[in-house]
Amino acid sequence: MISPKYASLHRAYETMISKKVLFIVFCVTIAILMMVLSVSIGSYKISFIDSFKVIIDHMLGNPVDRQDLHVIWNLRMPRAIMAVFAGAGLATGGAVMQSMMRNPLADPYIMGISSGASLGATISIILGISLIPGFTGDLSIILNAFLLSMIPVAVIVLFTKHRSLSPIMMILIGLSIMFIFGATTTLLKLLANPGQLAEAYMWGIGTLGRATWENIIPVAVLTSICMVLLFRFSNSLNILAMGDRNAVSSGVDPKRKRMYYLIIVSLMTATIVSFTGPIGFVGLVCPNIVRQFIGSDNRFLIPCSAAFGSLFLICADSVSKTVSVVNMPVGVVMALVGGPLFVSILLRMNKNSWA
Amino acid sequence: MLLNIDDLDFSYDKKLDVLNNISINFDEPQLVSIIGPNGVGKSTLIHCINRILVPTGGVVKVDDLDVQEYNLKKLARSVAYVPYTTGDAFPLTVIDAVLIGRFPINDRRPKDEDFEKVYQSLEALGITDLALRPFNELSAGQKQKVALARGLVREPKILLLDEPTANLDIRYQMEVVRLLHDLAHEWHMLVIMISHDLNIAAKFSDMVILLNNKQIFVVGTPEEVLTEENIYDVYGVSSKVITDEGKPHVMLRAYSEGNKTNMVSTGRV
C-alpha cells in the first residue's frame, strides 16, 4: 500500500506510465492495421476488400482465383509477416545495443553483423562455397550469411576470455571486423562475372521480397524468443545504461550481462539478416524516435521500439511496392523517407533525450 | 562485525601500490569521512568494499563474510554506492532513476513497497517536487541528490559515497552531510563518505580516516584527527585549528613560512 501522503504523487506517476502504455498500444494497433492493409498494396491490382476475401476464403477452404491466391497468400502475406518480425527484431536489437553500450549511435549492425551476412552470401553466390557442406542455392546463401554474421560476436566472446572490454572497445572491434568483411566482399566481387555480381549486389541491398512461408518460420520463432528474453531483462538494461560502477554496486555484473545480451541480439539480428539481407536504418533510428515520445526506460522502450520498428518497415515496404517502377528496395525508401522524418522529429521535439 | 577490513592491499598491475596494510573495523551505525590528498587511494578503498575492485591482498568482510564470497546482488542489498558522477547515458524520470536502486531487492515489476521507499527517499532529501522531472534536465546539485536517493532507497546497511558534496553549494553541502549524519543514526546505517572539505567532515562525522602514502595515517574522532600537525604532515599545508561548536575548524594559512618551503620543495609551485 502506498501511504496517503504519497497518493497524489503516485497517481501522477501512474498517469505518466499509462500514457506510455497507451502509446505502445497505439503503435501496435497501427502496425497491425498497416500489416493488413499492406497485403492489398502492390503492382498486382486487387482491392482491400477482395484481398481480404481471398485470405478468408482460402482459410475456410473455399475455391479462390489461382492468381489472386498466389499473389495474396504466397507472396504478400509472408512478406508482410516478415516485415513485422524483421522490423520488430531490428528495432529491439537497436534499443538493447544502445542501452548496454550507453551509446545512442549503436545498433546491431555496428557489430559487423550485416557485413558478415553480406560476405557469407557473396561467398556462396560468387565462389559457390557452402560453409556447411551439402547445401546449395538459397539455403547455402542463408546459412553462409548466418554463420559469418555470428563471427564478430564470437571474436568478442573470445577476446573477453583474456581481458575485459569496455563498450567502446567492443564497438571499435565490431567496426574493424565490419571493414575487414566489407573489404573481403569487395575483393570477391572483383572476381565475379556480371550475373553473379548482380545477384550479390541485389542481396546486399536488403529486401523483404524473398519472404516465403517456409523462411518466415525460423525468423518468427527466433525473433519472438529473443525479444521476450530481452524485454525480461529491461531492468538490468536500465542499470547497464547507468555505467559499469553503478551496475556492480547494484548487483549486476556488467561484463557478463553485456556479453549475454550481445549474443542474444546477434543471434536475433543474424537470423533476420540471413533471410532479408542487410536492411539498415530501423535498428539505429526507430529506438531513437521512440525515445522522443516515451523516454529511455527499457521497460517501455523495448516493446515500443518493436512495435514502431514493425510499423516503420511495413510502411516503407508498402511505399516501395507502390512506386515499384524499378523494384525500389525497402532500405532505400526507409532512408529517403525516414531520414528527413527523423531529423524533423529531432528538431521539433526541442528536448534532449540523451545525456 | 558490520564491516571488517583486514590487512588490505591493492595495486594495479602488481607494480604500483595504491593501498597498503589497511585494517579497520566498524560495527556501529555512524558517519565516517575518508580524507586525504589527491591520489592517495580514497576511492580505491571504497571500491574494494563494494567489489568494483578486487583487493590484491587481505580481506574485506561485510557481516563477517568475505565480500568476494557474496553473490553480487546479495552484496548490493547490504552495500550501496553513490559514485562521484552519475553518467546515465539515457536519462529517466527521477522516480524511475531512483527506483533502479531497488533492483537488488526486487528485480521484477516494482511493487507498492518499492514505490513507498522511493517516495520516502525523495522526501528525506527534499526533492519530492522533482519526482516526475527528467533526470537530465536537473542541475548538478539536484542530480547529486537523486544519486543519493538511489543509494538510500534500498535501505542498505552500509552506504558508500564518493564526494557526495562535490557539485553542491555551501548550503546544500551542509544540508546533505548533516542529513547523512542523521540518516546514519536514524536508519542505522554505516555511512562512509569521501570528502575534500575538512570542515564539513569535522562538523558532522563521528569518525574520520586520514589516508596518506597508501596507508591509514590516523583514524579517530574529528578532534583526534584534524590537528595542525596531521594536516601539515599529510597535506603539507600550514593551518590553524580552532574549536567551533565543539568541533575542530581548520583555517588555512596562505602565506606562512611552512607553506612556501613545502611548495618549493615538492615542486608544486
Number of domains in chain B: 2
- Average pLDDT of span B218-236: 94
- Band (pLDDT 50/70/90 cuts) for residue B268 is very low
Q: With contact defined as beta carbons under 8 Å apart, do B151 and A246 qualify? A: no
Question: A250 to chain B: which residues are within 8 Å by CB?
Answer: 76, 100-101, 103-104
B245 shares its domain with B190 = no
Model confidence pLDDT, tens digit, residues A121-149: 999 999 988 888 888 888 899 999 999 99
How distant, in Å, are the alpha carbons of A137, A277, A283 from that of A106? Answer: 33, 19, 9
B247 shares its domain with B197 = no
Between helix A167-191 and helix A194-205 the angle, nearest 10°, is 150
Model confidence pLDDT, tens digit, residues A73-86: 999 999 999 999 99
* The pLDDT of residue B210: 96
pLDDT at A70 over 50: yes
B149 shares its domain with B238 = no
- Full-model pTM: 0.89
Amino acid at B36: G
Q: What is the ipTM of this complex?
A: 0.85
Q: With contact defined as beta carbons under 8 Å apart, do A73 and A80 qualify? A: no
Binding-site residues on chain B for chain A (CB distance < 8 A): 47, 50-52, 71-77, 79-81, 83, 86-93, 95-96, 100-101, 103-104, 107-108, 112, 115-116, 119, 128, 131-132, 134, 136-137, 160
B43 shares its domain with B81 = yes
Element (H, E) at B210: strand B207-212
B265 shares its domain with B199 = no
Domains for chain A: give ranges and CATH numbers: 4-349 (1.10.3470.10)
* The pLDDT of residue A353: 63
What's the rounded Cα separation, in Å, for the pair A164 and A181? Answer: 24
Contact assignment for A250 to B51 by CB distance below 8 Å: no
How distant, in Å, are the alpha carbons of A271, B159, B172 from that of B169? Answer: 54, 22, 5
Q: In percent, how much of chain B has pLDDT > 70?
A: 93
Which among A3, A10, A297 has the least Cβ separation from residue B92? Answer: A297
Q: The domain containing residue B249 runs over which residues?
A: 227-269
B95 shares its domain with B143 = yes
B238 shares its domain with B222 = no
B185 shares its domain with B85 = yes
CATH code, domain carrying B116:
3.40.50.300
The SS3 call for residue B206 is coil
In terms of average pLDDT, the best of A43-52, A125-134, B150-159 is B150-159
B243 shares its domain with B130 = no
pLDDT at B261 over 80: no
String of DSSP letters for A147-195: HHHTHHHHHHHHHHHHS---HHHHHHHHHHHHHHHHHHHHHHHHH--HH
Paired sense of beta strands B79-82 and B158-162, if any:
parallel
- Mutation pick from B43, B70, B77, B90 vs chain A, by most beta carbons of A within 10 Å, is B90
CA atoms within a 13 Å half-sphere pointing along the CA-CB vector of A141: 20
